[in-house]
Amino acid sequence: MKLMFISDIHGSLFWLERALEKAEQEQPHTLVILGDFLYHGPRNPLPEGYDPQGVAARLNAYGKSLVAVRGNCDAEVDQMLLEFPMMGDYVLILHEGRKIYATHGHGFSIDQLPPLVPGDVFIQGHTHLPVADVKEGIYVLNPGSISLPKENNPHSYGIMVDGKFTIKDFEGNVVKDIQL
């Protein structure tokens, strides 16, 4: 089963469309969105193609194959526009015999892990930085941001399949990867 992870859309219909084009190419079983759907946030610039209502409509059309968690820029009013649940702080996914703890990263984070055991996977968004590493025997991952990457990183997303997590840019280049 292939999983695709995106994070930090921040209302950019332009970058969401690019990510969904990649989803059509990658053909994941499930698209996991790690928060920050519609609002750009007070510390971020307006992303290219800022259109929160367009993002909501596009995600709603895709909604049956989504798993989503709330980001720090998401609010109850956003849930009113979105037709799939996205207000949970985290979701647990069982994938290829492994537990994946998926969250935005503004509560539990790579620097403050929830109670997991070695071999489990922790994945977050929030920092807009791609990460594929191991900490205390736990795989710690971040697909980066599709709309507002930081520290000169590319716009990116993550793919998990066959025991491997790969972060890719939108040109198809591997940014980082790790064998799980």
Per residue in 36-52, pLDDT (tens digit) is 999 988 888 899 999 99
Cα–Cα distance measured from residue 66 to residue 71, given in angstroms and rounded to the nearest whole number: 15
* Tokens, residue 92: 């647990």
pLDDT at 113 over 80: yes
Q: Do the Cβ atoms of 47 and 148 come closer than 8 Å?
A: yes
pLDDT value of residue 62:
85
- pTM over cut 0.85: yes
Which domain, by its residues, includes 110? 3-179
CATH number at residue 52: 3.60.21.10
Beta pairing, strands 156-161 & 66-68 = unpaired
The total number of structural domains that make up the chain: 1
Lookup result for tokens 């219909």 = 13
pLDDT at 63 over 80: no
pLDDT value of residue 57:
97
Q: What confidence tens digit (pLDDT) does each residue in 133-152 have?
A: 999 999 999 999 999 999 99
